[in-house]
Amino acid sequence: MITVFGEGRGFRVVWLLEEMGLAYRLRDVDLLAGVENDHAFLAVNPAGFIPALQDGDVTMVESIAIMEYLMARHGPTPLAPDPQSPAYPLYLQFLHLGEAGLAASIYWVGNARRLPSAAERQNPTAAHALWQYHNRLKLVTRQLERTPYLAGETFTAADISVAYALMTAEKNAGLELGPAEQAYLERATNRGAYRRAMETCHATRAWYS
């Protein structure tokens, strides 16, 4: 049985598992309660961040790597275009840009918003992270002028990666999405698998509602 540890970016993994129709269980990891007391989770990921995955004797972290692993090992799936298809380069680019370009930068913007003083909230690192998010978003905006999904005409795991980053930008960082990104997010999340993932991920549901 596949086990997903923790929500946060683990929502991407749960969404993907629902898209693929694979059996799994979600094991809660409460970062706010203090992961240092969660010895069973620390045995899985000694660094204590989420998500992590266990699949038989495989243990992994990094949400994008986990998605690539699941699609490769339990696929094939239309969520990962064939490497020889025209969609593949864009798919791979946006799969990674969703984390490395968007979620990784917006994460620090969201964290800075919760700092106690205005000076801390407006620190240069947070300002640069916000700039970086907007900068990388230009690639998403341009692609959405060309195609309905990031790799072309059909939904792929790249959309799970980027849609989650846009959700975080809205809800954690309090940013307003432009009309193209808003319409895209509605299109990308109007899926049974997304709704089932939201049913499973109670913390994400509470955070996003």
Ligand X SMILES: N[C@@H](CCC(=O)N[C@@H](CS)C(=O)NCC(=O)O)C(=O)O
Name the residues that contact ligand X, by CB under 6 A. Answer: 8-9, 31, 48-51, 62-64, 99
Which of 76, 82, 90, 85 has the alpha carbon at shortest distance from 19?
76
- The least CB distance from residue 62 to ligand X, in Å, is 5
Question: Closest separation between CB of residue 86 and ligand X, Å?
Answer: 27
Which is nearer to ligand X, 63 or 105 (by Cβ)?
63
Please say whether the beta carbons of 95 and 158 come within 8 A: yes
CB of 9 to ligand X, least distance (A): 4
The residues pairing with 2 across neighbouring beta strands, listed in sequence order, are 24, 55
Residue among 50 and 166 whose Cβ is closer to ligand X: 50
Beta strands in 58-177 (DSSP E): 58-61
Could you tell me the smallest distance in angstroms from the CB atom of residue 50 to ligand X?
A: 4
Query: 152 in the Ramachandran plot: left (φ > 0), alpha (ψ -120 to 50) or beta?
Result: left
Cα separation of 194 and 134, whole Å?
A: 25
Rounded to the nearest whole angstrom, what is the least distance from the CB of residue 122 to ligand X in the complex? Answer: 22
Exposure pattern of 17-36 as b/e (b: 16+ CB <10 Å)? bbbbeeebebbebeeeeebe
Q: What are phi and psi of 46, to 5 degrees?
A: -60, -20
Q: Which is nearer to ligand X, 30 or 62 (CB)?
A: 62
Task: Tell me whether residue 48 or residue 148 sits nearer to ligand X (CB atom).
Answer: 48
Find the shortest distance in angstroms from Cβ 187 to ligand X.
Answer: 23
> How far apart (Å, rounded) are the C-alpha atoms in residues 51 and 97?
18
Q: Is the Cβ of residue 53 or residue 151 nearer to ligand X in the bound state? A: 53
Strand 2-5 and strand 58-61: the pairing is unpaired
- Between 100 and 183, whose beta carbon lies closer to ligand X? 100
Closest chain position to ligand X (CB) = 8
